[in-house]
Chain A
């Protein structure tokens, strides 16, 4: 049995497939917080893309798979993403609302799930990881993280403790970046407008780096910056917290 100081990492399919470096940063950050990390290798995707698109029959097998995989493990489950966290904590309850058997399993899974910064600050009481980041940083609160999970204080507190970092406020920070999962593909014109607004807000801060807690927003905003030939980089908060 893993001790309480071991956590299960649900790395998310985006980090797994596109940004494995971020995954490694997350493990290092958790280690520095005194936690041993386990990675259940059978994990894939939580099913959020299909669920949010309305294809619940397609989301369900992935949700069942995820529940099965993590039921076999013990301890807290850490997700470095607000939207995947919201899917496990809230989306699954909706998905299985008419199936009492699976609903109970989903509820018991949900009670173990924490978003990364929430876990560090609220559960572990850790705000200072000895991180160092010389220069300006600005923070974009991802929509599901902020509004569905109500997490905002935690990442800000963690960033405020980073040595040599100058945290500047992102104008209109509450605006969506336009990712929205399939929305970014299905309504490209709208998504483009949101993105334009977000990038222009970032430019107004003159910060070279934008910090997020969700990889969906990261790849969306970074993709927009690349398309425009801009040099700003979008960072997952674990990358900042890992740095010394």
Chain B
């Protein structure tokens, strides 16, 4: 067993007390958060089945959906590229960098980039890629891979991060998370402002409209898609949903499953590069659609795993992940699997070969907690079993069955099968086993097996009975009583009582307060005075505005171009979403999305008549399809990337003020 083997990694993780505490905290908080978030949608199970069906349809007809998506995105102004594998994706990206003489790339989180080994592959070309998600930034500074698909630095403590920042960034050592977050904000703000290219993944692509959707909490996703002159999105070909309606369905599942939020702080919807009328935005947007094994997987019995929306819920629910963390999921060659956890134990072998990663399928007790937590109801245990049975999509050739199974276990199971195929042999085996185990342990019913047997590592083993049930059966008398059906009113759980929904405005304000926004409802005529007072209290003399904001401010200098020295931004919103306290902002003439992003304080003005109840209603608005980009803001910028402690204001605004006017 090499020092890098799966077993060795597991032992290493189990012995790491810091890691154990972090993983326990992750599992408990995330599970509680997820369950609480889903308690607000009583039709969760129904949505889950619908999401499963939508994804199954997309995977089954992927070529059609892809061509619809590509046509639409191209018409919108995206430059769409297709990459068969990692090499090709990197080559395409390098061509884009050459065309723009780009040196500095600001990147938000993307799992596809992990499988492309993106950052490393660009180094020889002299291109510096800076990760801007706080967790990713931390693991990049440490030269590590992310250990969780959602919280990449979940394996580290605040002290380790403090030490890292001290060493790499030269800041004084601190264990204060807000101070560390402020450091990252300062350092990375410069990167956003000077980067030549912004790189993102894509959570969803909408086939009907050619829209890409990005979900982030910190605001870095918004920064890299708004500030650099060129935006490149890396996207797996399977990440499609047919329509905006479907997108609303999936957005109701993804953040709830991942972080327990109704919506993440920022949901960006991007249709096209900056248009003439736009106040601001990248002049070029590229989309690199990556296959990298997906089509082969689609044509295999593992196709269902392509439905994954990368929420991380299966990782958080998995008792194995909870013990070992993401870095222990390694291949035969000792390399860390790009995707960890239950879904990673299917997708990593599925995309990159079972020869190397097939053994991960054995690191599961098949308890099914993963499937139960999956918002798309992927039958993960069944898929793990198919990998164990030798399914190997990468080259279409089946592997020998029992993938990753130790030779001794294989031998034992074969011997057992030979005996069990014949009732006579089976009973003979039982009796012999009974005889011998009684000789070994004449008194105790449980045997103390040595640790090397595997079982004996932590438990005793029951003695075989010398007279098995089949022998006793022969002498058994049956005393049958006439039974009476007792069908009684079973304890059916009371149908969840859905409280009558309060007025839209009340619900909206309540949700906003719940996510840390400062709210105020007032008549429109009073707004200018209130705004002036707020700005005066904060000593703010210059504000970023859009056309709506400009209407209500006076006595301060207002600007429309992105200026990082401005402290407050005042904007209108297209609609407010009451069920999640969200604000929808679209880009356009005199409507720079930077006004709600760069300043420390974002002040939003919402008309009571512009409120809707649901996300689906909001996404149905034609303005969202028409704009080059829009964003759904749900609370201030936030992160839980250090010890899962909530910290506000990583990249986007630290304060969100909402004025609801009648």
- The smallest C-beta distance from A49 to any residue of chain B, in angstroms, reads 6
> Among A18, A28, A94, A191, which residue has the most Cβ atoms of chain B within 10 A?
A18
Which chain A residues have a beta carbon within 8 Å of chain B's beta carbons? 11, 13, 15-20, 23-24, 27-28, 31-37, 39, 41-45, 47, 49-59, 61-62, 65, 94, 124-128, 143-144, 146-148, 153, 157, 174-176, 178-196, 219-220, 222-224, 226-227
Which 10 residue pairs spanning A and B have beta carbons closest together? A54-B388, A180-B365, A34-B483, A223-B459, A192-B458, A185-B454, A188-B457, A176-B367, A147-B368, A23-B469
Q: How far is the CA of A146 from the CA of B366 in the complex (A)?
A: 12
Is B190 on the interface with A (CB-CB < 8 A)?
no
What chain B residues lie within 8 Å of A183 (beta carbons)?
362, 364-366
What chain B residues lie within 8 Å of A193 (beta carbons)?
14, 323
12 more A-B residue pairs beyond the given contacts A44-B421, A54-B405, with a C-beta to C-beta distance below 8 A: A15-B469, A23-B469, A31-B478, A41-B470, A55-B402, A124-B483, A147-B369, A185-B409, A189-B457, A219-B461, A222-B462, A223-B460
Q: Is the CB of B364 within 8 A of A56?
A: no
Is B172 on the interface with A (CB-CB < 8 A)?
no
Is B621 on the interface with A (CB-CB < 8 A)?
no
Q: Which of A43, A47, A94, A185 contacts B382 (CB 8 A)?
A: A94
What chain B residues lie within 8 Å of A52 (beta carbons)?
366, 385, 388
Question: Mind listing 7 A-B residue pairs with CB under 8 Å?
Answer: A42-B423, A54-B361, A54-B404, A57-B401, A176-B367, A189-B7, A226-B460
Q: Which of A57, A153, A188 contacts B455 (CB 8 A)?
A: A188
Q: Is the CB of A36 within 8 A of B409?
A: no
- The smallest C-beta distance from A154 to any residue of chain B, in angstroms, reads 10
Q: Is the CB of B490 within 8 A of A157?
A: yes
> Among A49, A59, A223, which residue has the most Cβ atoms of chain B within 10 A?
A223
What chain B residues lie within 8 Å of A34 (beta carbons)?
480-483
Stretch with Cβ within 8 A of A (4 or more), from B64-72, B232-240, B412-420, B642-650: B412-420
Q: Is the CB of A227 within 8 A of B460?
A: yes
Q: How far is the CA of A61 from the CA of B421 in the complex (A)?
A: 7
What chain B residues lie within 8 Å of A196 (beta carbons)?
458
- The smallest C-beta distance from A225 to any residue of chain B, in angstroms, reads 8
What chain A residues lie within 8 Å of B537 (beta carbons)?
none
Q: How far is the CA of A153 from the CA of B492 in the complex (A)?
A: 9
What chain B residues lie within 8 Å of A17 (beta carbons)?
430, 433-434, 464-465, 468-469
With contacts A223-B455, A223-B462 taken as known, whether A39 is within 8 angstroms of B486 at the C-beta atoms is: no
Q: Is the CB of A32 within 8 A of B473?
A: no
Q: Is the CB of B417 within 8 A of A58?
A: yes
Q: Is the CB of A125 within 8 A of B10?
A: no
With contacts A23-B472, A176-B367 taken as known, whether A62 is within 8 angstroms of B388 at the C-beta atoms is: no
What chain B residues lie within 8 Å of A42 (beta carbons)?
423
Q: Is the CB of A190 within 8 A of B363?
A: yes
What chain B residues lie within 8 Å of A24 (beta carbons)?
469, 472, 476
Q: How far is the CA of A223 from the CA of B462 in the complex (A)?
A: 7
Q: Is the CB of A127 within 8 A of B488?
A: yes
Is B11 on the interface with A (CB-CB < 8 A)?
yes
- The smallest C-beta distance from A62 to any residue of chain B, in angstroms, reads 6
Question: Which residue on chain B has the smallest CB distance to residue A179?
Answer: B365
With contacts A44-B421, A55-B401, A147-B371 taken as known, whether A188 is within 8 angstroms of B451 at the C-beta atoms is: yes
Q: Which of B362, B364, B417, B467 contacts A20 (CB 8 A)?
A: B467
- The smallest C-beta distance from B340 to any residue of chain A, in angstroms, reads 15
Q: How far is the CA of A115 from the CA of B16 in the complex (A)?
A: 41
Is B43 on the interface with A (CB-CB < 8 A)?
no
With contacts A52-B385, A187-B362, A226-B446 taken as known, whether A65 is within 8 angstroms of B458 at the C-beta atoms is: no
Is B389 on the interface with A (CB-CB < 8 A)?
yes
- The smallest C-beta distance from A189 to any residue of chain B, in angstroms, reads 6
